[in-house]
Amino acid sequence: MLKKIFYYGFNLTGKANRSEFAIYFVIELVLLLVALELSTRINHSDFRTYINLFYIDLILLVVTTPTLSATTRRLRYLNLSTNLILISFIPFISSFFRLFLLIKSKK
């Protein structure tokens, strides 16, 4: 299962069912909470701040690519246009969009 998560994390072809998309969704939430916790420790007079900023950027990079890939594959699974991936870049609406993709069934 873990091999599948890492392999399909950067794969834009194929389709993702609800459980596979849910795994990426939960991983994204957990890592974003870690990034949020690191961002609360920012103090511009301390060198560790820059290390925290580096880790925040690294977490966001690692989270964004597999999540967008899983979103594209989930859209394909639901027979929706893959152009809807652009909704993921709208800050507040993207959360509801991903929740919609998580709940929506193929019917």
Q: What pLDDT is attached to residue 83? A: 93
Residue 88 φ/ψ, nearest 5 degrees: -65, -15
Residue 11 has pLDDT above 70, yes or no: yes
**What is the rounded end-to-end Cα distance, in angstroms, of the chain?**
26
Contact 14, 77 (CB under 8 A): no
Residue 98 has pLDDT above 80, yes or no: yes
What the block records as the tokens of 1 is 């299962």
- Spatial distance between the Cα atoms of 5 and 66, rounded to a whole number of angstroms: 9
Mean pLDDT value across the chain: 84
Measuring CA to CA, how many Å separate 19 from each of 23, 25, 26, 46, 104? 6, 10, 11, 42, 12
Q: What pLDDT is attached to residue 5? A: 66
**Does the predicted TM-score (pTM) go above 0.85?**
no
Q: What pLDDT is attached to residue 53? A: 83
Domain map (residue ranges) of the chain? 17-103
